[in-house]
């Protein structure tokens, strides 16, 4: 089934919680001024991203599959088109910069709500104290990188159209639970949700619903009473493959594979890459140039990158090299990469456009690996872009993927693997 099921309504009175911190909430502004026209309730997406993560330093902006972790959920929230505003609440400058780069607004949270002991509710209440225009908060967890806009759209409809006061995400698990053995208290464990004599097959058992923490939507009045779940309440069941949570470093490589396979990559459909254009200096090489005693130019490259180029070509992807520098043709020929090359290029975008038209491709079928300011226009224009780990900051801001490897140190091979994974994703989507 396409997505998910929503849970049956449950009416739960919201208990009173502790008073909110910071300045007191402002009075609700009156809506419908002028001829009684009512404005829709202001739904704000709020991602909490504190800088002081204990498990993984600056986890919220660590690169996952080439994208800052927080970028995955911000992309989904912005593309959902159901939020009047999308916010990141943070106490850290670097997280603020990444949030703005993805198009989110930033609420600088106080030191009071940035402590290890501070709760999510503390931070949300503080946010509302400063944003009286907000009627409903969609608290989205930064560590759920496989979230899709469709999930958020359906939950927004449940809140706005069906009248729920709070909706939270769950995932279905088929796991048998047993009681924990306390030392000196009991000698044997007991089943909690099964009869061992009649163990059901997976297909004969519906399983159980567990909160997965991806998001919690709640109306202002509940939050101001210190409650994220209450009133007329419902759950929203997410697909298991979209339910990914990253808490510790060991989750990272697993999550990276999951997000590449099941993550949301933007509004436009992915296309299969047919052409990769790679900058020579700083991508194929590490940017170092050595000059021999007889004035001959010497450069070095990583064999892994040569293998990456070979694998791309074997899979039917054309690889071409480009440089604004007057590279020695003799040196390039000695590399034996068998790639069409253009050097002394003053306008890289014009050359790439010429190659694209020559091959009869659309921009979405072109990939580009660059590292300098002169590469930025190409990086922004192509369907798939990347830079090595040591690329200049301007180039890094223009791309969708930042390699873990540096230029001349395996960046091409890494980007090639990324391309192959995306091609697999395209092929899988075509088979559905």
H helix or E strand, kind and range, residue 67: strand 67-68
Tokens 């009416």, residue?
Answer: 11
Are 244 and 258 within 8 A, CB to CB? yes
* Through-space distance between the first and last CA atoms of the chain, rounded to whole angstroms: 12
Cβ 252 vs Cβ 39: under 8 Å:
no
Query: Exposed, middle or buried: residue 257 (CB in 10 Å: 0-12, 13-18, 19+)?
Result: exposed
Q: Sort residue 226 into left (φ over 0), alpha (ψ -120 to 50) or beta.
A: left
CA atoms within 13 A on the CB side of 50: 19
* 3-class DSSP assignment, residue 5: coil
User: Pick the catalytic residue: 199, 201, 202, 239?
Assistant: 199
Query: Is 413 among the catalytic positions?
Result: no
Whole-number Å distance between alpha carbons of 172 and 207: 6
How far CA 271 is from CA of 134, 354, 422, in Å, comes to 38, 20, 9
Residue written as token pair 């693997």: 417
- Residues marked active site are found at 199
């Amino acid at each position: 089934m396409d997505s998910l099921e929503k849970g049956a309504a449950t009416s739960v009175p919201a208990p009173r919680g502790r008073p909110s911190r910071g300045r007191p909430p402002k009075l609700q502004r009156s809506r419908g001024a002028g001829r009684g026209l009512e404005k829709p309730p202001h739904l704000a997406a709020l991602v909490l991203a504190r800088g002081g993560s204990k498990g993984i330093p600056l986890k919220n902006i660590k690169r996952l599959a080439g994208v800052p972790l927080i970028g995955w959920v911000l992309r989904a929230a912005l593309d959902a088109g159901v939020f009047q505003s999308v916010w990141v609440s943070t106490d850290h400058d670097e997280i603020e910069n990444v949030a703005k780069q993805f198009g989110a607004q930033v609420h600088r949270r106080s030191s009071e709500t940035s402590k290890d002991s501070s709760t999510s509710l503390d931070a949300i209440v503080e946010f509302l104290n400063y944003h009286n225009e907000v009627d409903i908060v969609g608290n989205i967890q930064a560590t759920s990188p496989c979230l899709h806009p469709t999930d958020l759209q359906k939950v927004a409809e449940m809140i706005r159209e069906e009248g729920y006061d709070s909706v939270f995400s769950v995932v279905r698990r088929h796991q048998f639970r047993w009681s924990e053995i306390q030392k000196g208290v009991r000698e044997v464990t007991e089943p909690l949700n099964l009869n061992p004599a009649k163990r059901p097959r997976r297909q004969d058992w519906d399983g159980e619903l567990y909160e997965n923490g991806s998001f919690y939507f709640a109306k202002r009045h509940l939050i101001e009473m210190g409650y994220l779940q209450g009133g007329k309440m419902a759950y929203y069941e997410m697909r298991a493959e979209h339910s990914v949570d990253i808490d510790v470093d060991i989750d990272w490589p697993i999550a990276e594979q999951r997000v590449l396979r099941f993550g949301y990559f933007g509004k436009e459909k992915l296309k299969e890459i047919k052409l990769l254009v790679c900058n020579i200096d700083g991508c194929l090489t590490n940017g170092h140039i050595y000059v021999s005693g007889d004035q001959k130019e010497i450069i070095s490259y990583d064999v892994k990158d040569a293998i990456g180029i070979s694998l791309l070509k074997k899979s039917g992807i054309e690889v071409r090299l480009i440089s604004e520098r007057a590279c020695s043709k003799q040196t390039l020929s000695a590399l034996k990469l068998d790639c069409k090359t253009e050097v002394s290029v003053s306008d890289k975008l014009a050359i790439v456009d010429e190659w694209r038209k020559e091959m009869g491709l659309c921009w979405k079928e072109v990939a580009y690996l660059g590292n300098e300011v002169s590469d930025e226009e190409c990086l922004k224009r192509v369907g798939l872009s990347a830079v090595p780990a040591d690329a200049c900051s301007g180039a890094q801001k223009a791309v969708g993927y930042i390699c873990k490897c540096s230029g001349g140190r395996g960046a091409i091979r890494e980007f090639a693997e990324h391309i192959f994974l995306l091609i697999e994703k395209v092929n899988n989507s075509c088979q559905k």
